[in-house]
Structure 1
Amino acid sequence: MSNKGFTLVELAMVLLIIGLLLGGLLMPLATQVEQRDRRLVGEQLEDIKRALLGYAVINGNFPCPSIVTDPDDDDYGLPVDPSEDECADDGLLPWKVLGVREKDPWGSYWRYRVDTNFVDTFNLGTVPGDGLGVFRVIDGDEKRLTAANDEFRPVVVFYSQGPDMESNGLNTHGSDPDHAKFQGGEPVQGQFDDLTDWLTRPILLEVMLSSRVLPSTGI
């Protein structure tokens, strides 16, 4: 009686079947992990929004972006001082003064942009359309997610660069770095995967009014 083993063809077929089964299991797992990370980003964006509003109530302004990425630098995680230097056109979230996480779940720094009208004592009578922060947010179909009216435009925009870890959501218009659009909403495969949130002047005004710390500059 002779013993017969598997032929090379049979082994190849077995390995192919195992590979297909593993691939079928790993793909949904990867999708689940990305969905989990996106949910986590959504929660962290809400934390950032609350922290920015809290900062505004305490200080009467929003911080400038941070521009330092060296953890050994004393200014790491801190905003640029507007009395010493201009705010960066598009920088990093100053996470230390806000008390939030420095990076998103994919290991990228949170990006942050602020209308420079709102980094000193708030002048709520000044609207974003004065040329110092004409921001708008659009979706993958170029449809506006924010109002076109200057008075209701975002004054602060913050976002995660997404799984690809690139700021593919930011575009500037012409030579003016203060006229910028940001992509938000549902990600579009091959186009952008940034996760974006923002604060508008009406939201800021409502929080300041409810906190009874409205600045003397008026509305």
Structure 2
Amino acid sequence: MTKHPLQSGFSLIEIAIVLVIVGVLLGGIITPMASQHQQKKIKEAETQLEDIYRALLGFAILNDRLPCPATTASNGLAAPNGATTNCTQEHGFIPGNTLGFDALQNANSITTDPWGNPIRYSLTNFDSGAFSDQITVNQSSGDYTVCQASSCAADEVITDNATAIICSLGKNGAQPINSQNQRENTDADIRFVRAEFSEAAGSEFDDICRWISPNVLALELSRVGKL
């Protein structure tokens, strides 16, 4: 009888073990890459909000007022686009075209963040809307409150006299979620939240917000002799 040499190969168990190891290695590579990509976008959003913040201060210095928020129908312009004691709406979006801000825009000409979501902008109508008409030395306060949580307990208040709020809603944008902290930044009232990043179900938070205080406005305007 002719003897055939023994054929060697991988068993199913060995193949399964290899696949598990490859999966673990890929997971160890992909997860850090995804995290790094997210961190990059967060840094880009923070830089973008800083640029918008400075553009708003520059506008105030040139015009003695802050621009009204843009609406979905105003083509990226403040609504209305001139001095007024009453903005079309208190809560809207960054008027990128009024500011001459060079950034990506959506189909409604609204400036968007690195995730492609509209950047929100609110301007207080405190003092009969004077901040959108003419800033004077008598205007010493706003009425926006920024807290570390939606409950806004006394020890959670960061400021209670902000004049304007700029917010990127992060990766999840304005998607319906159960996080009260995050909903606080889109419910069109005078309370806002700046909290720690969280992915916990029911407590999600990835908004990035900045605000302008009347004290900063007064300082910048006084530096150029406007107050």
TM-score (norm 1): 0.80
Candidates 23, 27, 36, aligned match of 2:27: 23
Distance 2:212 2:183 in 1: 17
Give the structure 2 partner of residue 137 of structure 1.
Answer: 146
Residues 193-208 of structure 1 mapped to structure 2, 5 A cutoff: 193-208=206-221
Give the structure 2 partner of residue 49 of structure 1.
Answer: 53
Shift of 1:140: 4.0
Shift of 1:66: 0.9
Give the structure 2 partner of residue 93 of structure 1.
Answer: 94
Q: Is the 8 A contact 1:170 1:180 kept in 2?
A: no
- RMSD (Å), alpha carbons: 2.5
Distance 2:213 2:87 in 1: 22
Query: Match of 1:212, SS?
Result: coil
Q: Is the 8 A contact 1:140 1:187 kept in 2?
A: no
Give the structure 2 partner of residue 217 of structure 1.
Answer: none
Distance 2:52 2:192 in 1: 17
Give the structure 2 partner of residue 158 of structure 1.
Answer: 166
Distance 2:174 2:21 in 1: 36
Q: Is the 8 A contact 1:155 1:200 kept in 2?
A: yes
C-alpha offsets along residues 127-164 of structure 1, whole Å, 9 cap, x if unaligned?
44xxxx52111124841221x4xxxx110000100111
Alpha-carbon distance change, 122 to 85 in structure 1, aligned in 2, over 3 angstroms = closer
Q: Which amino acid aligns with 1:182?
A: F
Distance 1:85 1:3 in 2: 86
Distance 1:208 1:58 in 2: 9
Q: Which amino acid aligns with 2:79?
A: V
Distance 1:95 1:180 in 2: 23
Distance 1:85 1:67 in 2: 14
Q: Which amino acid aligns with 1:7?
A: S
Task: Select between 22-31 and 201-210 the one with higher mean Cα deviation.
Answer: 22-31
Distance 2:99 2:196 in 1: 27
TM-score (norm 2): 0.77
Distance 2:85 2:60 in 1: 20
Query: Match of 2:7, SS?
Result: coil
Check if 1:121 corresponds to 2:134: yes
Query: Match of 1:125, SS?
Result: coil
Distance 1:44 1:86 in 2: 24
Distance 1:185 1:145 in 2: 10
Q: Is the 8 A contact 2:90 2:124 kept in 1?
A: no
Gaps of 5+ in 1: 70-74, 215-219
Q: Is the 8 A contact 1:139 1:184 kept in 2?
A: yes
Q: Which amino acid aligns with 1:99?
A: G
Query: Match of 1:159, SS?
Result: strand
* Aligned length, in residue pairs: 196
Q: Which amino acid aligns with 1:208?
A: L
Check if 1:107 corresponds to 2:116: yes
Query: Match of 1:113, SS?
Result: strand
Shift of 1:213: 2.0
Shift of 1:196: 0.4
Identity of aligned residues (%): 31
Alpha-carbon distance change, 180 to 170 in structure 1, aligned in 2, over 3 angstroms = farther
Gaps of 5+ in 2: 104-110, 176-180
Q: Is the 8 A contact 1:171 1:180 kept in 2?
A: no
